Amino acid sequence: MAKVTEGYMPFLGHQTYYRIVGERKDNGKAPLVFLHGGPGSTHNYFEVLDCVADMDDRQLVMYDQIGCGKSYLDGHPELWNQDTWMDELDALRKHLDLDECHMLGQSWGGMLQICYAIERQPKGVKSYVISSGHPSSSLWAQEGLRRIKMMPEDMQKAIHHAMETQDFTGEAYDAAVAEYMRRYCDYPVTEDSPECLSREKKHGDEAYLYGWGPNEFVPSGTLGDFEYVDRLNEIKIPSFICSGIQDLCSPLVAKTMYDGIPDSKWELFTHSHHMCFVEETEKYIDLLIKWLNQHD
């Protein structure tokens, strides 16, 4: 089993936690940096891919973005915007000497890759794996509202009432959102699931609320104007798009990225929701290793 090294990077007067699996080798294989979702989730679920370090003899770098997990922080609503998270990614690359690397971003992490590629035009990034991300908050919301029409009528009413009143509380609303997430996001965790999926973690609720919004289909936070569909052709880094058939990242959202990014590939995982690498791990790892070696 590959060696695991943990540490903290100073950032904006706070600390960003990172976790490194494996050691850097002079074998022509660039490290793979993981960008988790949320905003406000953690790196935890990426640990199902720890075996890639041994299988591909490649170093893996994971971290908890500021505001969540072992980098938890709240009471700073001014921080929760894409510039903060892009700055943190730049700082991490510098801190860990990641002059060359691949990046794998899931959900919000995939969004982060898109804005990072376009706004920062980073050097040394060999490829992206955009896992269930999106290029447009309005498109994400549009697809969410379309799918809500397929839910039971009482749940539709609860969600629309919450949106009209801006009161995102109450049993009926909570039940409707839980059903929406069950259909398109959540992976059922059982006693046989990897420990990293059930491990207690510190969610960045403030980062999610101020960065994104109260739920997946109301992007009212600082990322509400995240709109890059018309600029996807500016991404010159080879990009592998992964999405699930019943994913928050609907096939339309995934196809929009595939159509817009010039050097891209798209794999639709037919037995997955929002976490393809958890629900179809073996297939995901096989495709991931082939992709990374193709673009080293």
CB 84 within 8 A of CB 92: no
Selected catalytic residue, list 43, 102, 273, 274: 274
Strand order through the sheet with 125-131: 4-11, 14-21, 60-64, 32-35, 101-106, 125-131, 239-244, 264-269
DSSP state of 162: H
DSSP E strand boundaries for the chain: 4-11, 14-21, 32-35, 60-64, 101-106, 125-131, 239-244, 264-269
Which tokens belong to 221?
């936070």
Selected catalytic residue, list 71, 107, 127, 272: 107
DSSP state of 218: B
Known catalytic residue: 247? yes
Selected catalytic residue, list 247, 250, 272, 273: 247
Known catalytic residue: 54? no
HSE of 180 in the Cβ direction (CA atoms, 13 Å)? 25
Strands 101-106 and 125-131: what pairing? parallel
Please give the positions annotated as active site.
107, 247, 274
